[in-house]
Amino acid sequence: MPDDLDAYAKTRTTPYCISFEDVCRAIMGSKQKTQLRRLVNFTFTRHPSINLPEGRLQAIEYHIKKRARELLAIPNAK
C-alpha cells in the first residue's frame, strides 16, 4: 500500500508548474525544518470506533515519515 501512495503523490503537482521540492528549496528555512522534524515520528491517534483500516493508517504514517525525511534533506534556503 505505501507504493500506491508514492505513485499517487507523484501525480500531484503545484499550481505554479514547478516541483514541490523546488518550492521548498526556495523558501524552506530553519523554522520549517523544525516543523518537519516533528513529522519524522508521526503517528495518528487511534480512536476506538472511528478509524480507517489499520493497514491504511500505517501506510499513510509511513508515507508522511518518509516524505518528511526527504524534505529535511533539502538544504535551507535562508
> Per-residue pLDDT tens for 15-42?
878 888 888 898 899 999 999 999 999 9
Is the pLDDT score of 46 beyond 70? yes
Instruction: Output the CA torsion sign for 1, 55, 9, 23.
Output: negative
Q: Can you tell me the distance from the alpha carbon of 68 to that of 8, in angstroms, rounded to the nearest whole number?
A: 17
- CB burial of residue 28 (10 Å; 0-12, 13-18, 19+): buried
Which residues lie below 8 Å from residue 67, measured CB to CB, with a gap of 6+?
9, 39
Q: pTM here?
A: 0.79
Mean pLDDT of 40-65: 91
Compare 58 and 6 and report the one with higher pLDDT.
58
DSSP state of 7: H
Is the pLDDT score of 3 beyond 80? no
Percent residues over pLDDT 90 in the chain: 45
Q: Report the chain's C-alpha Rg in angstroms.
A: 14
